[in-house]
Structure 1
Amino acid sequence: MRNSTITTFILLGLTDDPQLQILLLIFLFLTYMLSISGNMTIIFLILLDSHLKTAMYYFLQNFSILEISFTSACIPRYLYNIVTGDKVITYNACASQVFFTDLFGITEFFLLAAMSYDRYVAICKPLHYVTIMSSMVCRRLVFCCWVAGLFIIIPPLSLGLELEFCDSNTIDHFICDASPLLKISCSNTWYLEQTVTICAVLTFLTTLMCVVLSYICIIKTILGFPSAQQKKKAFSTCSSHMIVISITYGSCIFIYIKPSAKDSAAVNKGVTLLTTSIAPVLNPFIYTLRNKQVKQAFNNSIERILIFSKKK
C-alpha cells in the first residue's frame, strides 16, 4: 500500500446512526469482554489443571490464544472509533491490522485441521494416542500451523504493499480488510485479486481436506462400535469441534467466495462482525458446555479460590 500523498485512511464503520452506534458499542464491548474472559479462563484452566494436560486441550489452549489475538486485532480499534468519533487510521496501523487479522485467521484454519487429526488419532487409534500425540508432536503441529499461515499471507501482502491510492482514502468497512482496500486502489488489482483468491482457496481446500478425511475415518470407526453408548460417547467428543468447524468454514465461504473485490462489501461487513466478535464468544462456550472435564476443572478452581479466600 504505497503512496506518498495518502498516509491515513478513514474507516466508515458499520453505521452513521448515533443510536445504532451506541447499541453497537454496548454489544461489541460486552462480546469482546466475554470473549477475552471466556478464552482466558480456558487457557488458565488448562495451564493449572493436571487432568487437562492432553493433546486435545493443548490445541484448545492455542485455539483460545488465537481467538483472543484475532478479536483484539479488530474490535478495540473499532470501539475506539465509536467512542471518540475519530475514524482516521494511519497507513502503518492499517497495514498491520490487515497482516495480523489475516495471519490469525489463516492460522486458525490450520489449527482446526490439526485438531481434526487429533480427534482421528483419539478415536481410530486410541491405544497409540499418547505415543502418536506426544507433547513434542503437538508443539511441532502448532508451530507448523503458524508457519503455514505466515507463508500463505506473504505473497498477497507483498503485492498489497505495492498498491497505490490516488483519489480516495475512505474504506467502506469497520476494519482494514483486503476487499475494501482493493476497491479504492487506483492500481490494477486483477493480479492481486487472483493471488488472494488462490491463497484463500489453497488454505480452505487444504485444511478442509484434512478435516473431511479425518472425520470420514472417525465416522467409519464409530459406526463399527458394538454398543450405542460407545457411539454416543465418541460422537460427543467430536461434536464441539464439528460445530466450531461449521461456523469457521461457513463464514469463510461468505467472505471469500465472491466474483470480485470491487463488489459491494456490505455482506462482508456482517460476516466479518460475526467472525471477529460473536464467534470468539461462542467458541469457549461450545467447547466447555459439552465437556465434563473442563467443567469439572472450572468447578475445582472455584472451590480452591473459595477455600483460599476463607483462609485469608
Structure 2
Amino acid sequence: MLGNSSSATEFFLLGFPGSQEVRRILFLTFFFLYAVTVMGNTVIIITVCVNKHLQSPMYFFLGHLSVLEVLITSTAVPFMLWGLLLPNTQIISLAACAAQLYLYLSLGTSELALLGAMAVDHYVAVCSPLRYDIIMNSSTCIWVVIVSWVFGFLSEIWPVYATFQLTFCKSNVLDHFYCDRGQLLKVSCEDTLFTEFILFLMAVFIIIGPLIPTIVSYTYIISAILKIPSASGRRKSFSTCASHFTYVVIGFGSCLFLYVKPKQTQAAEYNRVASLLVLVVTPFLNPFIFTLRNDKFIQAFGDVLKRCYQFLKS
C-alpha cells in the first residue's frame, strides 16, 4: 500500500492465480499458442510477399493483419509467460507500463480499422466485380493500410496520456497479466468518473466506427449472394467471406466486451478472459481461419515450400 502523497513508479502484476502446477500447465499452453501464432502468421506474411499469385488486395490486407497479430500478441504474452515461469517477477516500471498499454491499444485499433477496410473490399468484390480492379487498385490499398496504422497510433495518444496523468497511490498491485487500463484506474486515488466517461465515448467511436461499414458491407454482401441463382455460386461466395466474418465476430465482440462500457474497473476475472481472447486466442486462430479453407493460399504455400526445398537442395 502506498501513501496518499506518493504515486507508484512501478507495478506488480499478479498474473494468474493458482498453484505452481497450474502455472506450469498455463505456461505450456500459452507458450504453445504463442509459438503457433508467431509461426503461423509469419508463414502468411512470407507467402503473401513472395508468391505472385497472391498479389491482390485481399491477401495484401491479410498480410498486414498478420503483422498486426504478431505485434499485438507480442506486447504482453512474452512478459506473461515470464511471470508464469518465474512467479513474483512480474514487476514493470511506470514508463514500460505506459508503453505496453499504448502499443497494445494502438495496434488493436489499427487492426479494427483494417478489418473494416477488408469488409469493404469484400463488398466491392461481391457487389461490383467488374469495377473491382479500378476501385481497389494498388494505390488505394496502400493508402487504406497507411490510414489504418496512423489512425490507430494517433487515436490512442490521449487515452493513454490521460490514464497516466492520474496518481496511483492506492496500491501498486495490478490484478492482471499486463497493464490493463481498468486495473490502473482502480488503483488511482483520484475521482476517475469523468476520465472513464471520456474513455468510454472514445472507445465507442474507435470500435463502432469500423464496425458500421462492416455491418453495412455484409448486409449488402448477404443480399447479393442470396440473389445468385445457383447453389454452388452462393456456396462459393459465402465461403469467400466466411473466414473474415468469423474473425470480425470474434475480434469486435471481444473489444466491445472489454471497452464499450461506462465503468472500466470491471471484475478482473472477466477482463482477464476477454483479454486472453484478444491477445492469445484471436491471433492464434488467424492463420487457421484465413488459410485452411483457402485453396489458393494452400497452393501458394506449397509452391513456396517447393522453392525452398529446391534452393536448399542446390
Would you say 1:188 and 2:191 are equivalent positions? yes
Would you say 1:102 and 2:80 are equivalent positions? no
Q: Which residue of 1 aligns with 2:169?
A: 166
1:227/1:5 CA distance change after superposition, 3 Å? closer
> For 2:306 and 2:205, how far apart are their aligned partners in 1?
47
3-state DSSP of counterpart to 1:175: coil
Q: Which is further off, 105-114 or 219-228?
A: 219-228
> For 2:190 and 2:197, how far apart are their aligned partners in 1?
14
Q: Which residue of 1 aligns with 2:19?
A: 17
Paired amino acid for 1:111 = L
Q: Which residue of 2 aligns with 1:55?
A: 57
Quote how far apart the aligned CAs of 1:156 are: 1.4
Paired amino acid for 1:167 = K
> For 1:153 and 1:244, how far apart are their aligned partners in 2?
23
Of residues 127, 130, 133, the one that matches 1:130 is: 133
Q: Which residue of 1 aligns with 2:147?
A: 144
3-state DSSP of counterpart to 1:74: helix
> For 2:229 and 2:170, how far apart are their aligned partners in 1?
68
Quote how far apart the aligned CAs of 1:203 are: 1.7
Q: Which residue of 2 aligns with 1:234?
A: 237
Quote how far apart the aligned CAs of 1:145 are: 1.0
Identity of aligned residues (%): 39
Report the TM-score when normalising by structure 1.
Answer: 0.95
Q: Which residue of 2 aligns with 1:299?
A: 302
Would the aligned equivalents of 1:35 and 1:280 in 2 still touch at CA under 8 Å? yes
> For 1:270 and 1:219, how far apart are their aligned partners in 2?
32
Would you say 1:201 and 2:204 are equivalent positions? yes
Would you say 1:82 and 2:80 are equivalent positions? no
Q: Which residue of 1 aligns with 2:9?
A: 7
Q: Which residue of 2 aligns with 1:73?
A: 75
Quote how far apart the aligned CAs of 1:271 are: 1.4
Residues 219-249 of structure 1: CA distance to partner in whole angstroms, max 9, x if unpaired?
A: 1221222222211111111000000001112
Q: Which residue of 1 aligns with 2:123?
A: 120
> For 1:279 and 1:268, how far apart are their aligned partners in 2?
15
Quote how far apart the aligned CAs of 1:151 are: 3.2
> For 1:268 and 1:261, how far apart are their aligned partners in 2?
10
> For 2:81 and 2:285, how far apart are their aligned partners in 1?
20
> For 2:241 and 2:82, how far apart are their aligned partners in 1?
38
Paired amino acid for 1:53 = Q
Q: Which residue of 1 aligns with 2:218?
A: 215
Paired amino acid for 2:47 = L
> For 1:57 and 1:261, how far apart are their aligned partners in 2?
36
Residues 96-132 of structure 1: CA distance to partner in whole angstroms, max 9, x if unpaired?
A: 0110000011111110000001001111111111111
3-state DSSP of counterpart to 1:89: strand
Would the aligned equivalents of 2:6 and 2:169 in 1 still touch at CA under 8 Å? no
Q: Which is further off, 125-134 or 82-91?
A: 82-91
Residues 66-117 of structure 1: CA distance to partner in whole angstroms, max 9, x if unpaired?
A: 0000000010111122223302111111010110000011111110000001
Would the aligned equivalents of 1:25 and 1:82 in 2 still touch at CA under 8 Å? yes
> For 1:5 and 1:104, how far apart are their aligned partners in 2?
28
Would the aligned equivalents of 1:11 and 1:171 in 2 still touch at CA under 8 Å? yes
3-state DSSP of counterpart to 1:176: coil
Quote how far apart the aligned CAs of 1:5 are: 4.6
1:164/1:215 CA distance change after superposition, 3 Å? same
Quote how far apart the aligned CAs of 1:144 are: 1.1
Report the TM-score when normalising by structure 2.
Answer: 0.95
Quote how far apart the aligned CAs of 1:257 are: 4.2
3-state DSSP of counterpart to 1:261: coil
Paired amino acid for 2:34 = Y
Would the aligned equivalents of 2:79 and 2:90 in 1 still touch at CA under 8 Å? no
Paired amino acid for 1:303 = K
Residues 236-287 of structure 1: CA distance to partner in whole angstroms, max 9, x if unpaired?
A: 1100000000111221232124452233221110111121111111111100
> For 1:285 and 1:196, how far apart are their aligned partners in 2?
33
> For 2:285 and 2:275, how far apart are their aligned partners in 1?
15
